Amino acid sequence: MSRAARIGILCASVAIFCYAGIGHVLGRTTDDKAYKSLTVYGEVLQKIQQDYVDDPNMHTVTAGSLHGMLESLDAQSSYLTPREYDEYKKKLANAGTGETGLTLSKRYGYVIVLSVLPDSPGTQAGIRSGDIFESIGGFTTRDMSVGQAMNLLDGQPGTGVKVGVIRRGKATPEEVDLVRAKLATPKIIVQKVDPDILVLRLPTLDSGRADEIRNRLLDAEKQAIHKVILDVRECGRGPVSEAIATARLFVPSGMLTTLRGQTVSTQVFSAEPKQVVWKNPVSVLIDATTSGAAEVLASAIAANHRGDVVGERTFGLASEQKLITLDDGAALILTVANYYNPGGKAILEEGVTPTEVVRAVPEDDSDTTEEDAAPPPEVQKEPGLGPRPLSPEDPIFHRALDLLKAPVKKAA
């Protein structure tokens, strides 16, 4: 690094510390912890610049520290450099931007696939929920935020991106090509599994989904169907407003969820009796591939004792992010509020616990060779992540079916 660059960085650091110090003295901040943290951060930067074994690239060091800072908050908060944010804006503004149909988060320090949209590039490439992305586009995800990962995965339809995938039961990554595509909103999958029972599988909770579900329920009543199963496994997309609107179709009274954050006014969402269209039995199927808005829906059904919620604990991702631009052209994607269940627990931290716990059938790893040794122990700990069985032997579905068919016990 040149002498001029060193002096520039030093002057900038001094300016920041002076501003923070003056603000502290004048009472502009009442938080001593923030002031002390700033001085520690500055001291660490200074030591790196002076004592590191090689002449460090301080721009890279600073960007890395900001990435780590955001990731330490939660899996969805991200820092985008000026270049990354510029790419992000262009892709967001382009209605023709292609994607891969994946919902991502971070676990074990790497980017992990939570769910995959049906008929998407992810599905076509054989990507499954629970897969770990060791790399995207040649960059390790160990140092990558979810925002950066999505930035790399999205792009011009028809173009490809390579990902290094570590699958359950494998130790080494497999290189997979994903070809981006412009995706249509996936349709609800409807199946009549019994003369009296209808299954609605919801791949997303995109805008307008609640109205679609409402119409399906009204049609079911006309067909003398009196029991419904909502399958929200692999459901990881859509605004929470759709989850609330859907819950109001079933729940006649009580609190559905609460949104609150440090700078976000508390909002309490309650049931609205006039919006109820289904008063018959309902069950909801969940597992660790259920995230975001779908968690709010499942939580509202369970907490208000409206129906059985069957399966495994959800991932825990129901929150709101805000895009905050910085003066140097960079940006933050910052979690500013969490959704809470009616019991007051943050879904982001707790997930949604089913009222009837049923483990999914584990994936068959019988073809694993000795060269493909088992993944690290911490990867094996995650019980719910993995492809949802689509066979008739699906234990979660069959348990929900049994509960709906069981005779109703009369009060003594």
pLDDT at 5 over 70: no
Is the pLDDT confidence value at 227 over 70?
yes
Q: What is the mean pLDDT of residues 163-175?
A: 90
Three-state helix/strand/coil letters over the chain: CCHHHHHHHHHHHHHHHHHHHHHHHCCCCCCHHHHHHHHHHHHHHHHHHHHCCCCCCHHHHHHHHHHHHHHCCCCCCEEECHHHHHHHHHHHHCCCCEECCEEEEEECCEEEEEEECCCCHHHHCCCCCCCEEEEECCEEHHHCCHHHHHHHHCECCCCEEEEEEECCCCCCCEEEEEECECCCCCCCEEEEEECCEEEEECCCCCCCHHHHHHHHHHHHHHCCCCEEEEECCCCCCCCHHHHHHHHCCCCCCCEEEEEECCCCCCEEEECCHHHCCCCCCEEEEECCCCCCHHHHHHHHHHHCCCCEEEECCCCCCCEEEEEEECCCCCEEEEEEEEEECCCCCEHHHHCCCCCEECCCCCCCCCCCCCCCCCCCHHHHCCCCCCCCCCCCCCHHHHHHHHHHHCCCCCCC
pLDDT at 381: 32
Lowest mean pLDDT segment, chosen from 57-66, 108-117, 123-132, 232-241: 57-66
Task: Give per-residue pLDDT as tens, 38-70.
Answer: 787 677 777 777 777 788 777 777 777 777 778
| pLDDT for res 230 | 98
The percent of residues in the chain predicted with pLDDT above 90, rounded, is 62
pLDDT at 28 over 70: no
Which CATH code for domain 82-179? Answer: 2.30.42.10
**What pLDDT does 311 receive?**
96
Question: Looking at residues 318-322, what average pLDDT do you find?
Answer: 94
- Average the pLDDT over 131-144 and give the result: 92
- pLDDT digits over 344-371, tens only? 999 998 899 999 999 986 544 444 443 3
Whether residue 112 has pLDDT greater than 80: yes
Give the tokens for residue 65. 């520290």
Q: Residue 189: pLDDT above 90?
A: yes
Q: Tell me which of 54-58, 214-218, 238-242, 319-323 is least confident.
A: 54-58
- Is the pLDDT at 35 greater than 80? The verdict is no
Architecture of domain 189-364+383-405 in CATH? Alpha-Beta Complex (3.90)
Judged against a pLDDT cut of 90, whether residue 209 lies above it is answered with: yes
With 60 as the cut, is the pLDDT of residue 388 above it?
A: no
User: Has residue 9 got a pLDDT over 50?
Assistant: no
Distance CA 328, CA 252 (A): 50
Apex CA 314: angle with CA 353 and CA 178, to 5°?
Answer: 170
Q: Is the pLDDT of residue 231 over 90?
A: yes
CA R_g for the chain: 24
User: Is 4's pLDDT higher than 70?
Assistant: no
What is the per-residue pLDDT for 97? 92
What is the rounded distance in angstroms from the CA atom of residue 337 to the CA atom of residue 273? 27
Residue 385 pLDDT: 41
Give the chain's mean pLDDT: 83
pLDDT at site 294: 98
pTM attached to this predicted model: 0.82
Q: Quick check: 272 and 289 in contact, CB under 8 A?
A: no
Is 299's pLDDT higher than 50? yes
Q: What is the pLDDT of residue 22?
A: 37
* Least trusted range by pLDDT, from 200-214, 290-304, 375-389: 375-389
Kindly report which listed range (64-68, 93-97, 127-131, 330-334) carries the lowest average pLDDT score. 64-68
Q: Which of 1-5, 31-35, 300-304, 336-340 has the lowest mean pLDDT?
A: 1-5
